[in-house]
Chains A and B, each alone.
Chain A
Amino acid sequence: MRHLLNYMITRILLAIPMVFIMVTLIFVVLRVMPGDPVSAMLGGHAPQRVIDARKLALGLDKPITVQYVEYLGQLVRLDLGNSMVFNEKVSTPIIEKLPATIELTVFGLLVSLGLGIPLGAYAARRRRTGRDFGIRLYANVVYCIPVFWMGLLLQLVFGVFLSWFPVSGRTSPRVDVSTFSHTGFYIIDTLRIGSLAAFGDVMWHLVLPAVTLGIVLSGIFVRLTRANMLDVLKSDYILAARARGIPERRVVYNHGLRNALIPIVTMLGLQFALLLAGAILTESTFSWPGMGRLLLERIYLRDYPVIQGVIIVYTLFVSAVSLVVDLLYAVIDPRVKY
């Protein structure tokens, strides 16, 4: 128990420099690199006087190091600053959009795990057969499909040609979001007010984006599961289980898969970064009002504080997930030491 506690504390402390480095990198990219936010925003013909006044108001006239320290100070107080384009705090649109992204990524992850793990385990069981080859081919092909193209194809087939699923947004126009929107997680909100019709509508809109994201990422999980299963199936306790005459199916799925899943948990943190990147493209394809669309919208508007804020929230999101995953792993597997 002491070890576990020590590990947890070390791991949490290690997350801090990671976040700090990313914040610094983003600051450098957005503020130090060529391109002046204010003149870019006001257009090339704004008089110098207007530009200077604007810079003064935004605190951009100070030396870059001072700006950096001030920004860090703000961040420590969990303040992301104000938008340059709209009269709002940076955190306002982020808090509004974050739940949509979380809903999408969680369901995308569920779909990819649900597809990837069984397929990978099955391929390992039938190693070096036609089916194994087919599943590996699926994994490779799917990995090479651009997320947005997958989304467009699904939209075309299931949205336009078959009209089974809606192709954009989180709800239909007839569903009045304001009656239930409380946490921003529509699935939770609709269940909370007990409106099954609204819940169904929300889930209906979630199907195509989540499946898009899930299919594309399932390739990775197929490969991970298959590789881990092959290692596990070589181990002595599998031999022992077989020797005791336990049916092959049970040996593979109960004894084998459970142990093969442990390393997959560790990889989940890294895969989550891929998932978020995929979510940006999926959001853009399905007009899903999440963080990714917010980021792209504000890039077109050149609203730098919001761009910076969104990227920092992404950073926090990724570090939080990888932190949780690592801690979870330490709990599952007592051999982990730091």
Chain B
Amino acid sequence: MSSQPQRPPLQAARFSPAGWLASFVRWFSRSRKTYRSEWWIMIAGLLVIALIVAMTLFPHLFTHYNPLDQNAGGQMTAPSAQHIMGTDNLSRDVWARVVYGAQTILGVAIAAALLSAIIGIPLGLLSGFAGGVFDRVLSLIMDSMYSFPGLILAIAFAAMLGPGVINITLAVAVVYIPTYFRLVRGQTLSIKEEVYVEAAHAIGARRGTILGRYIFPNVIATVVVILSLNIADAIMTEAALSYIGLGLPAGIPDWGMDLSMGKKFLPSGVWWMITFPGLMIMLLALGFTMLGEGLAEILNPRLLER
């Protein structure tokens, strides 16, 4: 019985969500000790995001008013126990509009950031890897777009496309393609020179393989950080577009649109119509910024200058 050889320790399985979770928890607690303040910044950001995501998923838990109901209460009544953020000029509940408006802005911002990442990352990879005239021309175009005020570009696109959720997403996405392109291209250029890429060349790996299996995985870590910061930026751009009336058709609750509505009644001192939607935009953007900065500090301290 005892002559049986001892079994070797368990090897990590190739597919094991539990193992991933464990290593994530380990990484998490390790980084929590090393980067104390960054860790807290990240957690604070995550909490804010979680709260607002909860609003988008379960709006009924937060309010029982309908954001479009024009008989929710009196016209422009100040915050009270019944309407904690008051009512607007069309007698709609401001808090309900804040809760339901989260869906619009969060959806547009995340979709736009992902879309520009999906376009920008492959372009950056190819451009950095291929080099030559292709790289030069593409870089020049992207640099021009990058140095140009993004909001003006978004305004031009939104004005041409007309109002609509899809259109505003496209308009916001266009602005951030150069961000990903420049980041990924720069990373690709430096990783291209690494020894392991040279080794891959030496063993005869195809160019597609090198790009996909050797360079891409090393680029993607920084992209995650930028994605979070980028969503924060996209939130502000979406809010700006709908504030100036280029965003969404009426009927969709949206913070930027509510702000421009509130602006009309500001001279009569209706403070609640502008305070709360703006506060939410700031909180949401701040949440993603804090998450991104915390992640950046922990994953790659040299990415952002402190």
Where the two chains meet, the residues of A that have a C-beta atom closer than 8 Å to any C-beta of B are: 17-18, 21-22, 25-26, 29-30, 33-35, 133, 140-141, 143-149, 152-153, 155-156, 160-161, 167, 223-224, 226-228, 230-231, 269-270, 273-274, 276-277, 280-281, 284-285, 295-296, 299-300, 307, 311, 314-315, 318-319, 322
Assess whether A153 is in contact with B274, with CB atoms less than 8 Å apart: yes
Assess whether B156 is in contact with A307, with CB atoms less than 8 Å apart: yes
Please list 17 pairs of residues, one from A and one from B, whose beta carbons are closer than 8 Å in the complex, sorted by A's number.
A17-B140, A18-B140, A25-B141, A29-B156, A34-B160, A146-B259, A146-B278, A148-B259, A152-B274, A152-B278, A156-B274, A230-B306, A273-B150, A284-B243, A284-B244, A314-B149, A318-B148
By beta carbon, the residue of chain B nearest A296 is B244
Contacts of A226 in B (CB 8 A): 306
Interface residues of A: mostly helix, strand, loop or mixed?
Answer: helix
Q: Per a CB cutoff under 8 Å, which of A167, A277, A307 touches B149?
A: A277
Known: A227-B305, A274-B149, A318-B149. A33 touches B160 (CB 8 A): yes
By beta carbon, the residue of chain A nearest B140 is A17
Assess whether A146 is in contact with B282, with CB atoms less than 8 Å apart: yes
Contacts of A167 in B (CB 8 A): 266-267
Q: B278-299: which residues lie under 8 A (CB-CB) from chain A? A: 278, 281-282, 285-286, 289-290, 293
Q: B119-151: which residues lie under 8 A (CB-CB) from chain A? A: 140-141, 143-145, 147-151
Min distance, Cβ B182 to any Cβ of chain A, angstroms:
12
Assess whether B147 is in contact with A269, with CB atoms less than 8 Å apart: yes
Contacts of B152 in A (CB 8 A): 276-277, 280, 295, 311, 314
Where the two chains meet, the residues of B that have a C-beta atom closer than 8 Å to any C-beta of A are: 37, 140-141, 143-145, 147-153, 155-157, 159-162, 232, 236, 239-240, 243-246, 259, 262-263, 266-267, 269, 271, 274-275, 278, 281-282, 285-286, 289-290, 293, 305-306
Max count, chain B CB within 10 A of own CB: residue among A26, A149, A227, A276? A149
Bound-state Cα–Cα, A281 to B237, Å: 11
Interface residues of B: mostly helix, strand, loop or mixed?
Answer: helix
Bound-state Cα–Cα, A30 to B149, Å: 17
Contacts of A300 in B (CB 8 A): 245
Known: A29-B157, A307-B159. A299 touches B246 (CB 8 A): yes
Q: Per a CB cutoff under 8 Å, which of B240, B266, B269 touches A281?
A: B240
Contacts of A26 in B (CB 8 A): 156
Contacts of B289 in A (CB 8 A): 140, 143-144
Contacts of A285 in B (CB 8 A): 263
Bound-state Cα–Cα, A256 to B281, Å: 37
6 closest cross-chain pairs (CB), A and B: A149-B278, A277-B151, A227-B305, A277-B149, A144-B285, A21-B144
